[in-house]
Amino acid sequence: MATFLYRLGRGAFRRRGLVALLWVALLFAAGFGAASAAAPTSGSFSIPGTEAQKAFDLLDKRFPGMAADGATARIVIKAPEGAKITDPGPKAEVQKIVSGLKTGPGAAEISSVADPYEAQAVSQDGSTAYVSAKYNVSGMELKDATRDALKDSGEGAKAAGLNVQIGGDALMAAPETGSGEIIGIAVAAIVLVITFGSLIAAGLPLLTALIGVGIGVSSITALANVLDLGNTTATLATMIGLAVGIDYALFIVSRYRAELAEGRERDEAAGRAVGTAGSAVVFAGLTVVIALVGLAVVNIPMLTKMGFAAAGTVVIAVLVALTLVPAILAFAGKKVLPAGEKSRLFGKGKPAGAEKKANGGTRWARFVLRRPVMVLLAGVIGLGIIAIPASKLEMGLPDDGAQPVSTTQRQAYDLLSDGFGPGFNGPLMVVVDGDKALADKTADRIKGLDGVVAVTPPTLNEAGDAAVISVIPKDRPSSTQTEDLVHTIREGSGDDVLVTGATAMNIDFSQKMNDALLPYLALVVGLAFLLLMLVFRSILVPLKAALGFLLSVVAALGAVVAVFQWGWLGSVFGVEQTGPIMSMMPIFMVGVVFGLAMDYEVFLVTRMREAYVHGERPGQAVVTGFQYSARVVVAAAVIMIAVFAGFIGASEQMVKMIGFGLAVAVFFDAFVVRMAIVPAVLALLGHKAWWLPKWLDRLLPNVDVEGESLRKHLESAQSPEGPDKDRELVNA
């Protein structure tokens, strides 16, 4: 592989104009496809195999239109102190809201509006009422004018002294990340400048990453409606694509500069950089693809599509690093080098290859080699302590009750809880596949259960062979008591009585994600173990990599639980409401962090393996790996931490949680596991780290990621008959 990539990189360097033109053409083609395609929707959501999904499927058959996934809104109105919402003045204001929604701007997208006085949507104490509105499209598809009309619907009532707040998913919009994300990208640019000492070299990874992400995201947008990808797919692809795109370009440019420092010609340096660091990029990319495609194990179509789309963006990032990066390096010339290096490397000043002062990576590696046991114990015990809260992990899906208290959604949620009870925000829908007698019997049984506040009379379909019963729990939707109630209703019913609704769907979704976590971990870590065994020709190195990754992920989950579930340091990170951890968080974190962690593992340890294969002792190989790779790995990690930390400033609790979790996980994995535990373990293992049974060595194909065959090939090309061989190698 190294020889093939050498040819590819050198060819791209020499044919830079053609390569750059092809990538620009792809970018414009993808952009044209995205611009001409219909706007992406929110995508359909289903959880195959769960009772809640079976109930929705039954509703589609027996109650056409009832299970439609259009947006809903609740305008909650509370009368002033000492008044009632049924008084003539407040009642007139409420009815103005109803008529305004029916006839005002955005009315074309509304399918129904319920008058609270006719729909019995007034609290028992008469202080609060709510207007329900149902839309034809999902919240993300609503026009801005429609959403603005909804926000303005209660302005007149507010002026009259009423408290009006709006809840429901009709206000759903892309979360605001504030200035944090911009600051994160700015930090990434500064880190690149410091790392390379050259504005051109710093801008190159950002440029190529943006081109790769542009092609990937534009392709996703162009195919969004055809493949029902949903509008969140592009967000995940952007996050992952930028992360790996910057990393991979960073690795290639760093190795290219190192090859120039050895005195090689520019085209030769580009070929060797792609042949060696490019091999690490290919296998690092494969681990990311495995992690993302592995989301199919969860068997939730939305997650599967998101994983495949993001994996496609990673493949593009790898191809960009192997071809476009060397092409742009050819255009950049000597500008990728710091000013002093340009003169030293090209014949002026200090000669190339002269003795240099040990850098920070070298000094740190030597420190770890002197005290491996101390460093190993400090790293493992430290992460182990941070991981303790993960044992108390509670998973769920956030609702409006998890919104900041300053938002209208949260205030509407609280008003409904105060006026109608906490469980009113999460009613259960019981679907009965039977006649009226069975429906009445089911309703009577549910009324006698603990934790039930109200049960509506069964609503039969036209054929009279199915019914729907609404159940109001006593406790809030995300509570364990409500979850227990759902299980109690299900356990006491037969196959013809199904529980669904948003609350039941959330419970089933959380359970499915929880059940899929271990199989997903086993698949991803197992396949990556085999892949890393091919790369490093070792059993213990991949095992150490997998165990270190698990330690960093569990520690990150512990930090997430401590902050977002327990509230520790919550005010520092803007956590206004604690609660269960988002169900998708553990699997999402495993997939994303695993890919990035293996990036750092492959790039760092490959350089150690390369030095070991070329004859260095195990300890010196560790030092060599850190000498050439530590600076780049640290820079890549700091960039990712800065980008992910930018999402902590988001208004949405879910986005804030993802940003915090990923930033902390990358910090633990890069700085504690890869920078401390990995060298300590390799120092203790010595030669045993690179041991592989002879029978297994014969079975495994030799992918030569460290470039040993490339080195031999190039050395033979410089022999007396070398010119012909060299010409054959270059022109191949």
pLDDT tens track for 234-274:
777 877 788 788 888 888 988 888 888 888 888 888 888 88
Q: Which long-range contacts (CB under 8 A, 24 or more apart) does 86-91 make?
A: 86/117, 86/122, 86/126, 89/160, 90/157, 90/160, 90/162, 91/117
Question: What distance in Å separates the CA atoms of residue 410 and residue 403, rounded to the nearest whole number?
Answer: 5
Mean pLDDT for 585-606 is 81
52-66 b/e (C-beta count within 10 Å ≥ 16 → b): bbbbbbbbeebbeee
* Closest C-alpha to 251, from 527, 5, 612, 550: 5
Radius of gyration of the chain (CA): 30
pLDDT at position 344 is 47
Cβ neighbors of 379 (< 8 A, separation 6 or more) are 672, 673, 676, 677, 680
* pLDDT band with cut points at 50, 70 and 90 for residue 633: confident
pLDDT tens, position by position, 649-677: 766 677 788 889 989 999 999 999 999 99
Q: How far is CA 481 from CA 292, 473, 474, 476, in A?
A: 34, 9, 8, 8
Residue with more model confidence, 463 or 317: 317
Q: E strands of 140-220, at which residues?
A: 163-167
Mean pLDDT for 585-591 is 82
Residue with more model confidence, 527 or 550: 550
What does the chain come to in residues? 732
Cβ neighbors of 538 (< 8 A, separation 6 or more) are 689, 690, 691, 692
What torsion do the CA atoms of 201, 205, 206, 210 make, to the nearest 10 degrees? 140
Question: What distance in Å separates the CA atoms of residue 23 and residue 26, rounded to the nearest whole number?
Answer: 5
**φ/ψ of residue 66, rounded to 5:** -70, -35
Question: What distance in Å separates the CA atoms of residue 426 and residue 430, rounded to the nearest whole number?
Answer: 13
pLDDT at position 714 is 66
* SS3 of residue 160 by DSSP: coil
* SS3 of residue 583 by DSSP: coil
Q: E strands of 437-510, at which residues?
A: 452-455, 459-460, 467-473, 497-500
The strand pairing partners of 128, in sequence order, are 78
- DSSP states along 36-89: HSPPP-------TTSHHHHHHHHHHHHSTTTT----EEEEEEEPPTT--TTSHH
Mean pLDDT for 177-185 is 61
pLDDT at position 731 is 43
Strand duo 163-167 + 497-500: pairing: unpaired
Instruction: For the beta carbon of residue 469, count every other beta carbon within 10 angstroms.
Output: 22
Mean pLDDT for 56-81 is 81
Strand duo 581-582 + 452-455: pairing: unpaired
Question: What distance in Å separates the CA atoms of residue 238 and residue 209, rounded to the nearest whole number?
Answer: 10
